[in-house]
Amino acid sequence: MVPWVPAKAKVQLRLGVQRLRTLQEKKSAQAKAARRDIAFLLEKGKLETARIKVENIIHEDIYVELLELLELYCELLISRFGLLDQNTREPDAGVSEGVCAIIHAAPRTELKELQVLRDMLMHKYGREFAIAVMENRDGCVSERVTRKLAVFTPGPSLVDAYLAEIAKGYGVDWSPPEYPNHDTDDAGGDGGVKAAIVDGKEVPESPKPVDSVTISAEARSAGVRTPKLPELPPTEEEDIPREKEKVVKEPPKPVKEEDDFETLAKRFEALKKR
């Protein structure tokens, strides 16, 4: 491991900036030639070969963006070299992002100058700090850098977008295919809206309202404590049968009329008691 020497570290930073710029120009020239080849493939109708080459161009573009970031960090460390040269076991907050980015991303580049600078920074701040940065503990490395280092396969939409721009730039008559939109599929999928046929036309049915009892029960089953929800007002369809319902009242019982004989008998009994 190369020991930390301030004068040598500053020279390595300046050399790193120059080499990063040179490599970016080289990659840009190679990408331009590759785009010309892809336009020729599109013109000949060799779409699959063009797609494979475009994936390589996408990765190269991301790599060039990584080089631009590292160049920016090197220039930052040069301008704040006084903070970098402090005798501390951890970098100052003003240069910490640049130090972590170089230690973490330098092995993924092809620049010897950055490798030497990385060894010097690891020697200065110690083994534990270097391991933490390489493992990106607590997210110490900037997300902009980690995104550029991520390995992934470009999606069809991104590949088609690159192909469309290349075709447009070189005057090739080609347009990307249209992919079916699965979001509008109403064939009974989850979350889809069912359609009813009325007069030979499909009319989407409005979803039934969910009452507060159902919502509260689902929330309790999921372990969520929710306040009691108010009941939803009835819909017009629910009001119609209620209006048609008639309250059936029992007819009043007829008062039993007493005949004249019973009336006279009661009056006679009352007179006898007197």
Residue 187 forms part of a structural domain: no
> What is the three-class DSSP state of 197?
strand
CA angle in degrees (0–180, nearest 5) for 133-74-59: 70
Residue 16 forms part of a structural domain: yes
Extended beta strands in the chain, E state: 195-198, 201-204
* Res 192 pLDDT > 50: no
pLDDT for the residue numbered 203: 46
Burial of 96 (0-12, 13-18, 19+ CB in 10 A): middle
Residue 130 forms part of a structural domain: yes
pLDDT, tens only, 213-240:
443 444 444 333 434 434 444 544 444 4
Residue 91 forms part of a structural domain: yes
Range of the domain at 137: 6-149
pLDDT bracket for residue 193 (50, 70, 90): very low
Residue 117 forms part of a structural domain: yes
In one-letter notation, the amino acid at residue 2 is V
Nearest CA to 167 among 57, 264, 38, 15?
38
pLDDT, tens only, 95-152:
999 999 999 999 999 899 999 999 999 999 999 999 999 999 989 999 999 999 999 9
Residue 189 forms part of a structural domain: no
pLDDT for the residue numbered 178: 74
State the Cα–Cα distance between residues 160 and 162, nearest whole angstrom.
5
In one-letter notation, the amino acid at residue 60 is E
* Res 13 pLDDT > 90: yes
* Res 180 pLDDT > 90: no
Q: The CATH number of the domain where 20 resides is what?
A: 1.20.1260.60
The mean pLDDT value for 78-86 works out to 94
Two tokens at 62? 């991301």
Residues 6+ apart with CB under 8 A from 274: none
